[in-house]
Amino acid sequence: MQAWTVHKFGHYREQLKLEEAAVPKVTGSDALIKVQAMGVNFFDLLVIAGKYQVKEPLPFVAGAEAAGEVVEAGDACDLKVGERVMTRNAGAFAEYMIAPRAATTSRLPEGMSYTDAAAFQFNYQTAYFALVHRANLKTAQYLLVHGGAGGVGTAAIQLGKALGARVIATAGSPEKLEICRQCGAEFLINYNTEDFAAKTMEFTAGKGADVIVDPVGGDVFDRSTRCIAWEGRILIIGFTSGRIPEIRTNKVLLKNMSVIGLWWGNYRLHNPQLIRQTQQRLYQLYDDGAIKPVVHSSIEFKNLPQALELIESRRSYGKIVIKVV
């Protein structure tokens, strides 16, 4: 099979190579799938560069999210050959990959395309865990979503609206703000031309945002402490700005705020049952039309580095999907 492989950590332009590789061997409760589509995420850049929280052992096949058809199942796997699934596992940028049934592999709803499936699991699981499990977002509360046109951002806006929140979204251009509006954001802020903290206070009549989703970090986190409501919750999702921020704990005390971390991937080890339960809830919301992945583009497998370049340059929105043809 062909696979995008990394032999040395570094920039994807130098270190990501399309090579022939052996088809993985399946055992136990795992399945082998023929990949039909794969999702591309910001953290893929970090994994290839060796800058992610967990380093893959070299050499490795890059990518971590895909959808495809089961072609072989382990002795303890309840999936059948021919079933359509989505999965989150290392080695997704390949024609075949291992799908671990225990935690993050799910059968697709009948009406879900492979494109939607490849763009679904990471973004919506992350957003749902953040808003519901970690921040306990309530109806009519104000939700501020930074990077609202991104993959997690669009998912958080849609889910926030479905949960009855009043959603404020930030983005860096009129085009990306329009994506946020289409996803259900009620209030829009261009962070390149407006002070998002001041605008949030204006939109909320001086109260501030009850919940803030922050995948950016850096200065965005620092300024978010100026527009968080009393007893508000700031969700740390990631650090796409490149700077990991710090906070003076007197600010936490004075506003009775909570600063909450979310690394969704760790739930695969600590609470896989909650992932499975959440997936069924997300499928219901998908079937009801409350959520649907925003797909920027579909790119051919051989041109996968183009997708990483679009993410790196911040020229994409929603999710980029790679199709295997």
Residue numbers of the domain that contains 195: 123-265
Kind of pairing between the strands at 142-145 and 166-171: parallel
Q: Are 38 and 324 in contact (CB under 8 A)?
A: yes
Domain boundary among 218, 245, 265: 265
- pLDDT single digits (tens) 53-84: 889 999 999 999 999 999 999 999 999 999 99
pTM equals 0.94
Q: Tell whether 128 and 224 lie within a shared domain.
A: yes
CATH code of the domain covering residue 173: 3.40.50.720
The whole-number pLDDT of residue 102 equals 75
The whole-number pLDDT of residue 69 equals 98
- pLDDT single digits (tens) 109-129: 999 999 999 999 999 999 999
**Residue 135 corresponds to which tokens in the numbers above?**
């921040």
Q: Tell whether 84 and 142 lie within a shared domain.
A: no
Q: Tell whether 90 and 220 lie within a shared domain.
A: no
The whole-number pLDDT of residue 254 equals 84
* Residue 97 predicted with pLDDT over 80: yes
Indicate the number of domains in the chain. Answer: 2
- pLDDT single digits (tens) 184-218: 999 999 999 999 999 999 999 999 999 999 999 89
Can you state the angle between helices 304-312 and 42-49, rounded to 10 degrees?
Answer: 100
Buried b (16+ CB within 10 A) or exposed e, 125-161: bbbbbbbeebbebeeebbbbbbbbbbbbbbbbbbbbb
Q: Tell whether 112 and 154 lie within a shared domain.
A: no
Average pLDDT over residues 308-312: 96
Domain boundary among 220, 250, 265: 265
Q: Are 63 and 4 in contact (CB under 8 A)?
A: yes
Q: Are 42 and 240 in contact (CB under 8 A)?
A: yes
The whole-number pLDDT of residue 294 equals 98
The whole-number pLDDT of residue 53 equals 85
Q: Tell whether 151 and 41 lie within a shared domain.
A: no
Q: Are 299 and 10 in contact (CB under 8 A)?
A: no
